[in-house]
């Protein structure tokens, strides 16, 4: 009796399905957007805080010789490039003779923590819906915490498969 209730709860759980991708995507989006920060990230209102920080302090960072991190790099891996950037910035500030005035480092750290939690929530929610072995290859394609990248990979792959299927049907008709 206990096994039946466990099986029925698992069968009602959201799981990736290529056959019913539209329904899966709607349910997944609803689940992701239930988190306020993840909703802001998915809607584009909350971008990686390092992008804005680099734009604001561009002249000071160039004077210090700190390498800029491109948005595409942050999109593919929102954690590692940020850590490298902070290390470079810290080392440069320690070596600088006249230390440039860079405001907002504490705000950057706080915003990064919020953004990282949102990306990790997106990633873990999606991975939770993937079936081991059948669709887990999506998660292996991206770095841990790159939730938006994982979501876009799944949508892109589904679009490619749908296009191939339509082309096969049309070529069979002609």
As a whole-number percent, the residues of the chain with pLDDT over 90 amount to 65
Mean pLDDT of 125-137: 89
Cβ–Cβ < 8 Å for 82, 74: yes
Confidence class of residue 12 from pLDDT cuts 50, 70 and 90? Answer: low
- Give 33-56 pLDDT, tens digit per residue: 999 999 999 999 999 999 999 999
* Residue 162: Cβ within 10 Å count: 12
Q: Is the pTM of this model over 0.85?
A: no
As a whole-number percent, the residues of the chain with pLDDT over 70 amount to 93
Beta-sheet strands, E only, within 48-132: none
| Rounded Cα–Cα distance for residues 140 and 138 (Å) | 5
């Amino acid at each position: 009796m206990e096994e039946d209730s466990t099986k029925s709860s698992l069968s009602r759980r959201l799981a990736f399905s290529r056959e019913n991708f539209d329904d899966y995507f709607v349910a997944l989006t609803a689940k992701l957007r239930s988190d306020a920060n993840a909703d802001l990230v998915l809607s584009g209102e909350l971008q990686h805080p390092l992008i804005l920080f680099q734009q604001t302090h561009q002249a000071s960072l160039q004077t210090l010789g700190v390498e800029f991190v491109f948005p595409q790099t942050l999109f593919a891996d929102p954690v590692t490039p940020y850590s490298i950037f902070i290390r470079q910035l810290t080392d440069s500030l320690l070596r600088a003779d006249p230390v440039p005035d860079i405001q907002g480092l504490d705000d950057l750290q706080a915003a990064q923590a919020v953004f990282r939690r949102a990306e990790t929530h997106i990633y873990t929610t999606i991975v939770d819906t993937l079936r081991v072995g059948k669709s887990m290859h999506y998660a292996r394609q991206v770095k841990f915490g790159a939730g938006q990248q994982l979501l876009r990979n799944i949508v892109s792959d589904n679009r490619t498969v749908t296009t191939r299927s339509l082309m096969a049907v049309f070529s069979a008709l002609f």
